Structure 1
Amino acid sequence: MTRMFSSPTATGAALMILAGAMFAVVNTLVQYAAMGLGIAAPTITFWQYLTALLFTLPWLAVSRADFRTRRFGAHLLRVGLAVGGVQLWVLGLAHVPIWQAISLIMLSPFFVTAGAALLLGERVTSPRWIAVALGILGGAVILQPWSDAFTPWALAPVAAAALWAGSSLMTKRMTATESPEALTLYLLALLTPLNAGLALFPGAGGFALPGAAAITTLAVAGLLTALAQYALARAYATADAAFLQPFDHVKLPFNVGLGILAFGFVPPGSMWLGSALIVGASLWLLAREEHGANLAVK
């Protein structure tokens, strides 16, 4: 087991899985705020990311990271893609079960892998393509878009997947010149005013929260968002974007389990077959990459 996690690729995979687990808790809290407390999506995203920024600032203040940047335009593009993804994601969570939304977000690795090859010039090996294809197949088995239960609201997570893929590619490209701490800071600092502007649109919900339960829910969501974003930035700084994407699938079982416990969202039996394909593909890819790394060292 020690040898298994001795390479940068394994470290990146572990960070990706950790980020996914924290995001699963965030998703559950956000869905509770939207479905249970009736808070509008722009209001949720504003307080979630403002709280994440406030939790992050003291830690960043004592860090030794270099926050200077000559790529402010790239930060703005990355954050603009993230804002669109966040808004569409929360909108989707307000109308569809967590397990269905997560299965749709599985399309993101396809966009990221294709973009990594076309835009970043990364070498996308056949095993990586196979792992991503198996993950997408698993998501399709879970979703069953041909069924009567399919709703147009499910298109919101699909659009979020495309925008987040673009943000992920920007994150990977910027790790060449920006520290993970800087990427986290600029993301949260720029998300806050953009989300505030969206919350102030007529009918968007404003800034008001309906009580202590809402404040506590979004405060915890904000803290975990900050930690998950940092883990994500560290993962992309450690390993290739295309390699990491199948491990993003592993967040599915976390989300499904929490959805069952918190809301009673029990997915159909096909979910388990889909999950087996997703997790199995991720573990298979990790084993192949680790074996290849060990042979290269020898």
Structure 2
Amino acid sequence: MTSAPSRSGPAMQGALLMIGAGALFACVNTLLQFVTMKLGVAAPTATFWQYGIALIALLPWQGVGLAAFKTRHLPAHILRVAFGVGGVQLWTFGLAHVQIWQAISLIMLSPFFVTIGASLWLQERVTLARWLAVIVGFIGGSIILAPWSEAFTPWALAPVGAAALWAAASLMTKRMTATETPETLTLYLLALMTPLNAVLTVVPGAGGFAVAGLYAMLALLIAGLLTALAQYALARAYSVADAAFLQPFDHVKLPFNVILGVLAFGFVPPGSMWLGSALIIGASLWLLAEENRESNAQA
């Protein structure tokens, strides 16, 4: 008896790839926090080398021809990548000053910024359920930030800013897919991110390109290679499984980062982190379920 074809194989592969990408990014975050917080490497310098090395490692696998450079929307490409670079810079600044559990918890606010931006910029209709999810998510973020606490530092706002900028980049990507091919979007992302990071690195007081110490350079080399591998795993995951199915597995990155933070730095999160993260994750899953329900209703 021949059974019907099953999608469980690709789905399982996608889930494992997404979990693997989360584990790799957790290692990258730990290495970046080590070189910035412990070895004193400036955040812009660390970001430049991380993504420069990742770019060199990824290029052989891109397979994108020069024809993909053809575009009539160069300013939009530059703005999109600028949002992404700003998010990366703020993220690294956050890792240099706040504990990794707090940074990774707050970066999960990005889907809620996407919802707000979709309403204000793309003029998409946002249901009451989506707004409730946004409110609950930001309540969770407020619990993690704890601005009323003596331990609060303004640097904790850096991951929140990174989440907002990455959300803006995602919204621009969504808007530009109407006129640009995926190859063109990928090529301009790769071609512009490293030069923009380089410009921010040479700004007075930013730190420059020099990295003092063998351990720091080795850590950044490993971080860059792991970034390339994580990006590849992420792309492969989305190529074999639906984004909606994969989204819950993206949240697995939280315990990976918490565990590495404890092992590497002794950063033990308080109970408020788990409460705030539970609200953020719960609200984002509810938001995802509402979007899937609406998509199915329109199909």
TM-score, with length taken from structure 1: 0.79
Tell me what 2:209 maps to: 207
User: Shift of residue 288 of structure 1?
Assistant: 5.4
Q: 1:112 and 1:27 mapped to 2: Cα distance?
A: 23
SS of residue matched to 1:94? helix
Q: Confirm or deny that 1:259 pairs with 2:261.
A: yes
1:30-109 to structure 2, matched below 5 A, reads 30-61=32-63, 67-70=68-71, 71-109=73-111
Q: Which range moved further: 263-272 or 273-282?
A: 273-282
CA contact (8 A) 2:111 2:284 kept: no
SS of residue matched to 2:68? coil
Q: 1:172 and 1:262 mapped to 2: Cα distance?
A: 37
Tell me what 2:171 maps to: 169
User: Shift of residue 203 of structure 1?
Assistant: 3.0
Distance 1:115 1:282, change over 3 A: closer
Q: 1:203 and 1:164 mapped to 2: Cα distance?
A: 25
Distance 1:27 1:205, change over 3 A: same
Tell me what 1:226 maps to: 228
Q: 1:12 and 1:173 mapped to 2: Cα distance?
A: 26
Tell me what 2:281 maps to: 279
Distance 1:44 1:130, change over 3 A: same
CA contact (8 A) 1:209 1:215 kept: yes
Distance 1:157 1:15, change over 3 A: same
In the TM superposition, what whole-angstrom CA distance separates every residue of 1:206-225 from its partner, at most 9, and x where no partner exists?
22223443233222322333
Q: Which range moved further: 12-21 or 89-98?
A: 12-21
User: Shift of residue 76 of structure 1?
Assistant: 0.4
Q: 2:295 and 2:58 mapped to 1: Cα distance?
A: 35
Q: Which range moved further: 216-225 or 77-86?
A: 216-225
1:172-211 to structure 2, matched below 5 A, reads 172-211=174-213
Tell me what 2:27 maps to: 25
Q: Which range moved further: 143-152 or 22-31?
A: 22-31
Q: 1:205 and 1:289 mapped to 2: Cα distance?
A: 43
User: Shift of residue 96 of structure 1?
Assistant: 0.9
Q: 1:84 and 1:106 mapped to 2: Cα distance?
A: 17
Distance 1:239 1:196, change over 3 A: same
CA contact (8 A) 1:65 1:179 kept: no
Q: 2:230 and 2:59 mapped to 1: Cα distance?
A: 15
- CA RMSD for the aligned pairs? 3.9
Aligned length, in residue pairs: 291
CA contact (8 A) 1:31 1:94 kept: yes
User: Shift of residue 244 of structure 1?
Assistant: 9.4
- Tell me which amino acid in the other structure corresponds to 2:106: L
CA contact (8 A) 1:4 1:290 kept: no
- Tell me which amino acid in the other structure corresponds to 1:209: V
Q: 1:18 and 1:130 mapped to 2: Cα distance?
A: 31
- Tell me which amino acid in the other structure corresponds to 1:128: R
Q: 1:78 and 1:118 mapped to 2: Cα distance?
A: 17
Q: 2:17 and 2:121 mapped to 1: Cα distance?
A: 24
Tell me what 2:137 maps to: 135
- Tell me which amino acid in the other structure corresponds to 1:24: A
- Tell me which amino acid in the other structure corresponds to 1:105: I
TM-score, with length taken from structure 2: 0.79
In the TM superposition, what whole-angstrom CA distance separates every residue of 1:248-280 from its partner, at most 9, and x where no partner exists?
665433322221222111111112222322333
User: Shift of residue 112 of structure 1?
Assistant: 1.3
Distance 1:232 1:157, change over 3 A: farther
User: Shift of residue 170 of structure 1?
Assistant: 1.1
User: Shift of residue 191 of structure 1?
Assistant: 1.4
Larger of the two Rg values belongs to structure: 2
User: Shift of residue 67 of structure 1?
Assistant: 2.4
- Tell me which amino acid in the other structure corresponds to 1:67: A
In the TM superposition, what whole-angstrom CA distance separates every residue of 1:120-164 from its partner, at most 9, and x where no partner exists?
243434443333333322222222221111112223233323322
Q: 1:168 and 1:21 mapped to 2: Cα distance?
A: 22
In the TM superposition, what whole-angstrom CA distance separates every residue of 1:19-54 from its partner, at most 9, and x where no partner exists?
555433322221111012211111101111111110
Q: Confirm or deny that 1:111 pairs with 2:113.
A: yes
Q: 2:211 and 2:88 mapped to 1: Cα distance?
A: 19
Q: Which range moved further: 225-234 or 31-40?
A: 225-234
